[in-house]
Chains A and B, each alone.
Chain A
Amino acid sequence: MAQLSFVLNGCPVCASIEPGDLLADVLRDQLGMIGVKVGCGEGECGACTVLIDGKAVLSCIYPAPKVAGCAVTTIEGLGTSDQLDVIQQAFVECCASQCGYCTPGIVLAAKALLDANPQPTREQIMVGISGNLCRCTGYYQIVDAIALAAERLTGGEP
């Protein structure tokens, strides 16, 4: 058992971990971040996507010890229902979620994409979320939402 310290959604946290522990399990089971979804356990579906120092990472296959000292962002670190962030607001307006199990991961993948490339083309958006499976929506409303968020973030639309 070792102590792991990192910054979670802006707050310093500590967890007790075993060497083989995976980040998704530590975030869900020890730190209560239930917005981190586990869909496949092998990094195939993207539901477990979180940001580590701003980069999208598959937490279901990511060794927990590697986040020591890093800044980890889960969906809980974005907006709240009363105060959605721009991407979440766009998802709401574009009806970009159905069952919602993939949604936290896709919102975070979108955030990583837009932070790195604020004005992506639709093709770049599709590439940006191609590691995230959605079985419900057929993706178009998700791509619309990310495009809308990009427009707003770059001042294209109020």
Chain B
Amino acid sequence: MTSAVGRPVQRSDIAAKVTGQSCFPQDYSSKDQLYAKVVWAAHPRARVLHIDASRASGVPGVMRVLTAADVPVNEYGIMTFDQPVLVPVGGETHWTGDRVALVVAETEAAASRARDLIDVEYEVLQPIIDPAAAKGAPDLVHADRDSNVIQHLFVHRGETEAALAQADLVVEATYHTQCVEHAYLQPEACLGYIDDEGRVALVVATQWPHDDIRQLAHILDVGERQLRIIVPAVGGAFGGREDMSLQPLVALAVHLLRRPVKMVWTREESIRGHGKRHPFSIRLKTGCTSDGRLLAIEAECVSDAGAYESTSVVVLSDALSFIGGPYHYPSCKVDGYTVYTNNAPGMAMRGFGAAQAAVAYELQMDRMARALRIDPVEFRLRNILTDHAVRLTGNRMPEGTGARECLVAAAQAAGWSECEGHWLAPEITQPALAERRRGLGVACTYKNVGYSFGFDDKSTARVCLHLEPSGQIARATVYLAAVEVGQGVTTALAQIAADALSLPVERVKVAEVDTATSPDAGSCSASRHTYMSGNAVYLACQKALRERVQALRGETGEQTIEASYTYRGKSRRPTTDWDPVTGECSPHFSYGYGAQVALIDVDTETGEIELLKVWSANNAGKVINPATVYGQSAGGLAMGLGYALMEEVVHEAGQLRTRRLSEYYVPTALDMPREFVDIQIEVPDPSGPFGATGIGEIPLLSTAPAVLNALADATGTYLDTLPATPERVWHALSPGRHAL
């Protein structure tokens, strides 16, 4: 039998997707369903003085107007319970995505009409919008905290100041990355109902159904067994569905009214109502020897956490942990702060802190290489992390470190050549038009796979073998709540199970995610499911095979064999949190690596950048499915291109100025480089299933720095603020020049 792993096995969900038969949450309805609509906070920071629902309640069909007084326990949050379900009278709004009331009505039209008739009286307060200023300010976003700084994290290792003082070259720069919207194509929607066993059941797109249940049980003050989440087709996630959005509202309405309730957000509500990628400001000061050996890095990072904590501390942790890039620095002094403001909350987004860090450290590497007149590939390779090398946090890299392989592959594909240890960039022909300049940029990046900093990351899989009378395995069903958000995890896990069981992949079914039957596989984030749930599925299959042998020996006549396995990340590589004194730690158990080379043209008259060609090499450890890995690579490039050139959520005094897709530029087919070379690298991680590690986030990381380094190659100018819009590029290329 040919192995399933390593082949472009057809996605198990694709026939339903191309025929429109896939059901997303908005496609579910229930007889007798009610409709719910939110009253959003009108101001980013205001005290709610009074809520008058009398006019709304008079609208025919309105069942109930819910306010904070109706919420059993009015707090939730993925890390800290600092977010209210509904802002209470007397309480303050913290961003314009706060919800003040919920209208439930017999029809959607009645709910909408009534929503517009709810009168909320506010005392408007001055919003806190600048994280740098908020850092030490006495005016607090959350009055019950002693500071707007949620957390200060650091790692101080070695004699950084002395090393910088002795360095042949010191480069200092400050980078600013922007607020980004996930812009998954499917806006939030949910159908809630009371199921046959009396549970509050939600059909909803989420990345971690079991964690939603943990938070919802707290809100409703019920046991977790009283709740159920069914995850149908999910229209993209990218981190944006890790925090709950409309789940608390629908669960509350169903819990109180005991009727099915449906809520569908418009795109405007989606953009308003869920968190964003954290904007970061990152100051770097790095030093190296004249022959290109890195000596020390000093970094100060400030991230805008916005209104609620969410995963801001972990995003900051990742940013700090990766701020040196995949390079060895003998000493470091790294500090970071994540700060509350009245802007949209910073939440998880593909790249999770490592994306912001990559922009800073890869521009910094390029600046140093340029100043030393060393080829940028060669400079990186002189310092690159390899197996067992000491990384920024003081611990050693594990086996399977694939940064070098990615960088070499991307550079060679793009035309670099090596001669006696020296690397030579390819000659590029400049365009005929004088105002167009062509440049080639490189970037090499890495990121953790799985949950870090001592978190007990685990995934549980249950495998059911259906036996023929002869005892042969007829087919297998795998149960686990590893959410398919489009990345292809369901197919990859079926492939892993098929090979573990020596079954054709067509005879393996991964059951749909329903917390009533699917064990907790952890979150669909941190590029972790192929690695974590792949290990869980593989080991559950092995356990089932052993139990099958025992059943056959005992001639028990059993027709089905079931086995569960919980894979823990720490079982092979324990991780630790920041040391309180030095900050040194062993934060991550597995990593993904990538490198990209970007060829661009920049029009110096208009500031426009055209991406001509990208070479993208990513280490999957083992490619489980080359077609879906290619999809991650190309999709990551598209999202990275948007990050580099066009995407930005603009706030003005805490109000979103970016409210809809016509005001937010997601790359189209025409924005993609016409030539794309995907290179799949397989430096195995011995702790992963078949050597696989994660790939989901990696292809996004290198795009923005590679493009900005290409801009510098073309023009000699580094742009330190994203995105590189034509206006920004134009101004950077011509300081002092004014637009006509």
* B-binding residues in A (CB < 8 A): 33-42, 44-45, 47, 74-76, 78-81, 84, 88, 91-93, 95-104, 107, 122-123, 125-127, 129-143
Contacts and interface: CB of A to CB of B under 8 A. Distances in A.
Contacts of B268: 41
16 contacts: A35-B21, A37-B235, A38-B187, A39-B267, A76-B19, A76-B20, A78-B19, A81-B19, A92-B11, A95-B10, A97-B11, A99-B235, A101-B233, A122-B674, A138-B633, A138-B637
B142 interface: no
A65 to B, nearest CB: 18
B669 A95 contact: no
A142 B17 CA distance: 13
Given A129-B669, A132-B668, A137-B635, 11 more contacts: A35-B21, A39-B186, A44-B660, A100-B235, A101-B185, A126-B669, A135-B238, A137-B638, A138-B638, A139-B669, A140-B676
A139 B235 contact: no
Contacts of A75: 19-20
Given A101-B236, A133-B668, A74 B20 contact: yes
A68 B88 CA distance: 49
A140 B634 contact: yes
B634 A138 contact: yes
Contact of A133 (B238, B660, B661): B661
Interface string B608-652: 000000000000000000011011011111110000000000000
B15 interface: yes
Given A41-B267, A44-B662, A75-B19, A99 B485 contact: yes
A97 B487 CA distance: 10
A80 B184 CA distance: 26
Nearest to B236: A99
Nearest to B487: A98
A92 B15 contact: yes
Nearest to B268: A41
A84 B18 contact: yes
Contact of B486 (A84, A99, A107, A123): A99
Contacts of B236: 98-99, 101, 135-136
Interface in B1-31: 8, 10-11, 13-24, 26-27
B413 interface: no
A81 B16 contact: yes
B20 A98 contact: no
Chain A's interface: helix, strand, loop or mixed, by majority?
Answer: loop
Given A37-B185, A39-B267, A101 B634 contact: no
A133 B668 CA distance: 6
Contacts of A101: 24, 184-186, 233, 235-236
Contacts of B636: 138
B673 to A, nearest CB: 10
Nearest to B183: A135
B185 A134 contact: yes
Given A100-B486, A133-B668, A136-B631, A34 B185 contact: no
Contacts of B68: none
B9 to A, nearest CB: 10
| 3 A-B pairs with least C-beta separation | A35-B20, A99-B486, A138-B634
Contacts of B17: 97, 100, 103
A37 B676 CA distance: 29
A136 to B, nearest CB: 5
Interface of B: 8, 10-11, 13-24, 26-27, 182-187, 233-238, 266-268, 485-488, 627-628, 630-631, 633-639, 660-662, 666, 668-670, 672, 674, 676
Nearest to A138: B634
Contacts of B267: 39-42
Nearest to A139: B669
B634 A99 contact: no
B635 A136 contact: yes
- Give the most central of B16, B17, B488, B668: most A CB within 10 Å: B17
B662 A140 contact: no
A120 to B, nearest CB: 12
A104 B233 CA distance: 14
Given A44-B662, A47-B185, A100 B22 contact: yes
A101 to B, nearest CB: 3
Nearest to B19: A81
Contact of A80 (B19, B182, B187): B19
Contacts of A36: 20
B233 A135 contact: no
A99 B234 contact: yes
A75 B21 CA distance: 9
A98 B488 CA distance: 7
Given A41-B266, A130-B669, A133-B668, A141 B630 contact: yes
Contacts of B185: 37, 39, 45, 47, 99, 101-102, 133-135
A74 B19 CA distance: 10
A102 B669 CA distance: 13
A145 B661 CA distance: 26
Contacts of B488: 98
Contact of A139 (B11, B16, B237, B638): B638
A33 B24 CA distance: 13
B23 A130 contact: no
Contact of B634 (A37, A91, A102, A137): A137
Contacts of A103: 17-18, 20
B698 to A, nearest CB: 14
B387 to A, nearest CB: 31
A153 B236 CA distance: 31
Contact of B19 (A35, A93, A129): A35
Nearest to B633: A138
Nearest to A91: B18
Contacts of A98: 236, 486-488, 631, 635
Nearest to A101: B235
A79 B486 contact: no
- Give the most central of A45, A80, A92, A98: most B CB within 10 Å: A98
- Give the most central of A37, A81, A100: most B CB within 10 Å: A100
Contacts of B628: 95
A150 B670 CA distance: 19
B15 A84 contact: yes
A129 B182 CA distance: 21
Contacts of B234: 99
Contact of B661 (A44, A93, A140): A44
Contact of A91 (B14, B266, B633, B639): B14
A122 B23 CA distance: 31
B297 to A, nearest CB: 32
A74 B187 CA distance: 20
A84 B636 CA distance: 29
Nearest to B205: A99
A46 to B, nearest CB: 9
Contacts of B10: 92-93, 95
A104 B20 contact: yes
B196 to A, nearest CB: 24
Nearest to B11: A95
A127 B488 CA distance: 27
